[in-house]
Amino acid sequence: MSTPQPKATAPIEMPESFAIQTEGLGKVYGKGANRVEAVKGIDLVVRSGDLTVIMGPSGSGKTTLLTLLGLVDQPTTGRLVLGGRDIYAGTPPDLAHIRNTEIGFVFQTPNLIPFLTAKENVLLPLSFAGVRGKPAEDRVQKLLDYLEIAERRAQHYPNQLSGGEQQRVAVARALANNPRIILADEPTASLDTDRALAVVRLLRRVSQTNGAAVLLVTHDHRLLGEVDEVIEMEDGRIASRRVVGQDGLARSQARSAQPESDG
Ligand X SMILES: Nc1ncnc2c1ncn2[C@@H]1O[C@H](COP(=O)(O)OP(=O)(O)OP(=O)(O)O)[C@@H](O)[C@H]1O
Site residues, Mg ion (CB under 5 A): 63, 108
CB of 258 to ligand X, least distance (A): 34
Q: Which residues of 208-230 are buried (b: 16+ CB within 10 A; e: fewer)?
A: eebebbbbbbbebeebbebbbbb
CB contact at 8 A, 96 and 25 = no
Note whether 8 and 75 are within 8 A (CB): no
- Binds 231, which of ligand X, Mg ion, none (CB < 5 to 8 A, cut-off by type)? none
Compute the least distance from the CB of residue 187 to ligand X, in Å: 13
Write down the least CB distance from residue 176 to Mg ion, Å.
23
**Cβ of residue 181: shortest distance to Mg ion, in angstroms?**
18
Which C-beta is closer to Mg ion: that of 30 or that of 92?
Answer: 30
User: Restricting to residues 170-229, which ones interact with ligand X according to CB under 6 A?
Assistant: none
Residue 171 Cβ vs Mg ion, minimum distance, rounded to whole Å: 17
Residue 200: closest CA among 106, 65, 83? 106
| Cβ-closest position to Mg ion | 63
38 interface partner picked from Mg ion, ligand X, none, CB below 5 to 8 A per type? ligand X
Q: Tell me which of 8, 36, 239, 254 binds ligand X, using CB under 6 A.
A: 36
Rounded Cα distance, 100 and 170, in Å: 14
Residue 59 partner contact from ligand X, Mg ion, none using kind-dependent CB cut-offs of 5 to 8 Å: ligand X
At 133, which amino acid appears?
A: G
Longest dimension (CA), the chain: 57
Give, rounded to a whole angstrom, the gap between the first and last alpha carbons of the chain. Answer: 48
Q: Are 179 and 103 in contact (CB under 8 A)?
A: yes
Choose among 241, 217, 226, 220: nearest CA to 70. 217
Return the number of the residue (17 or 108) whose C-beta is nearest ligand X. 108
**Pairing mode, if any, of strands 103-106 and 229-234?**
unpaired
User: Rule CB under 6 A: which of 38-67 touch ligand X?
Assistant: 38, 56, 58-64
Which lies closer to ligand X via its Cβ, residue 29 or residue 92? 29
The yes or no reply on residue 135 touching ligand X (CB under 6 A) is no
Q: Is 87 helix (H, G, I), strand (E, B) or coil?
A: coil
* Residue 217 Cα distances to 153, 156, 261, angstroms: 27, 28, 27
How many residues touch ligand X (CB under 6 A)?
A: 13
The CB-of-108 to Mg ion minimum distance in angstroms stands at 5
Contact residues toward ligand X (CB under 6 A) are: 29-30, 36, 38, 56, 58-64, 108
